[in-house]
């Protein structure tokens, strides 16, 4: 118990020192500021994480998400080592969004190749072909090697229901009200705003925060040794 308390105090001290030094590094202000360019999620863990994760909250029926997608794919191609990426489909109480979110979760559970994501975006926004029920979505996903009937039955399963509910609860916990939004490590929310004027800037902020988390983790490791 005593060792755990000492370690916690060491971590806390390191983070406080690091937080102050990061802004003053090289006598220059930090390029991005909490509360302006990104937000610390209430109740989020304070300590850095060893494996970092970037989550995109999106919807197939969000036109901005369609525009955002190439930026996501470009960033993924050069994703920093030790960072993972995932998508979280949003519903926001909209029946049409729930259909596509359920379809995405079903495809994810059935290990549908990632290429299906871009193909569905293109189907909706380039071909202007809106699928309005699970039968049509199952037909679409069947071209990626899944059985159409199995896709439909899986979409109605308790597992998909549970995952969908968990995703929506997570989105609510993160305080997200619009798409696309990015969340790093369940701690930092990055979204478009007057201060975050482009999608390139969003990902620059992501890279900046990944750097902070990486350096903080290294500082904690040194302090704990």
Of the two residues 213 and 18, the one the predictor is more confident about is 213
Please write the tens of the pLDDT for every residue from 131-179: 999 999 999 999 999 999 999 999 999 999 999 999 999 999 999 999 9
Q: What is the rounded CA–CA span in Å between residue 173 and residue 167?
A: 10
SS3 category, 87: strand
Average pLDDT, the chain: 88
Which pair of tokens denotes residue 160?
């998909």
- What angle (nearest 5°) sits at the alpha carbon of residue 191, between those of residues 186 and 195? 130
Topology annotation, domain 94-171:
Glutaredoxin (3.40.30)
Determine the pLDDT at residue 162. 98
Domain ranges of the chain: 1-90+176-225, 94-171
- Same CATH fold assignment for domains 1-90+176-225 and 94-171: yes
Q: What is the rounded CA–CA span in Å between residue 26 and residue 93?
A: 47
Q: How confident is the model at residue 224 (pLDDT cuts 50, 70, 90)?
A: low
Nearest to 221 by CA among 9, 10, 24, 6: 10
Determine the pLDDT at residue 219. 63
Q: What is the rounded CA–CA span in Å between residue 113 and residue 107?
A: 8
Are the C-beta atoms of residues 14 and 216 closer than 8 Å to each other? yes
Q: How confident is the model at residue 20 (pLDDT cuts 50, 70, 90)?
A: very low
Q: How far is CA 200 from the centre of its chain?
A: 16
For every residue of 165-214, DSSP letters joined together read HHHHHHHHHHT--SSSEEEETTTEEEE--SSS-SHHHHHHHHHHHHHHHH
Please write the tens of the pLDDT for every residue from 30-53: 899 999 999 999 988 777 777 899
> Buried (b) or exposed (e) across 160-192, using 16+ Cβ within 10 A?
beebbeebbeebeebebeebbbbbbbbbbbbbb
Q: What is the rounded CA–CA span in Å between residue 152 and residue 169?
A: 24
Determine the pLDDT at residue 123. 97
Residue 25 has pLDDT above 90, yes or no: no
Residue 43 CB coordination number (10 Å): 10
Whole-structure pTM value: 0.85
Please write the tens of the pLDDT for every residue from 77-98: 999 988 999 999 999 999 999 9
Are the C-beta atoms of residues 160 and 154 closer than 8 Å to each other? yes
CATH dotted code for 1-90+176-225: 3.40.30.10
Q: What is the rounded CA–CA span in Å between residue 65 and residue 192?
A: 12
């Amino acid at each position: 118990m005593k060792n755990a308390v000492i370690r916690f105090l060491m971590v806390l001290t390191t983070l406080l020192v690091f937080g102050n030094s990061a802004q003053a590094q090289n006598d220059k202000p930090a390029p991005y500021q909490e509360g302006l360019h990104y937000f610390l999620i209430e109740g989020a863990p304070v300590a850095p994480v060893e494996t970092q994760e970037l989550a995109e909250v999106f919807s197939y029926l969000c036109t901005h998400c369609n525009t955002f997608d190439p930026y996501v794919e470009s960033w993924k191609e050069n994703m920093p080592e030790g960072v993972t990426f995932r998508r979280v489909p949003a519903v926001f109480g909209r029946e049409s969004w729930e259909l596509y979110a359920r379809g995405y979760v079903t495809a994810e559970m059935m290990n549908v190749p990632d290429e299906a994501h871009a193909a569905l975006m293109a189907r909706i926004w380039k071909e202007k072909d809106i699928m309005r029920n699970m039968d049509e979505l199952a037909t679409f996903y069947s071209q990626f090697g899944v059985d159409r009937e199995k896709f439909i039955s899986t979409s109605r399963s308790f597992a998909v229901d549970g995952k969908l509910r968990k995703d929506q609860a997570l989105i609510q916990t993160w305080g997200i009200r619009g798409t696309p939004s990015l969340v790093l490590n369940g701690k930092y929310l990055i979204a478009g705003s007057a201060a975050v004027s482009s999608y390139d800037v969003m990902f620059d902020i992501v890279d900046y925060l990944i750097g902070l988390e990486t350096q903080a983790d290294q500082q904690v490791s040194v302090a704990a040794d």
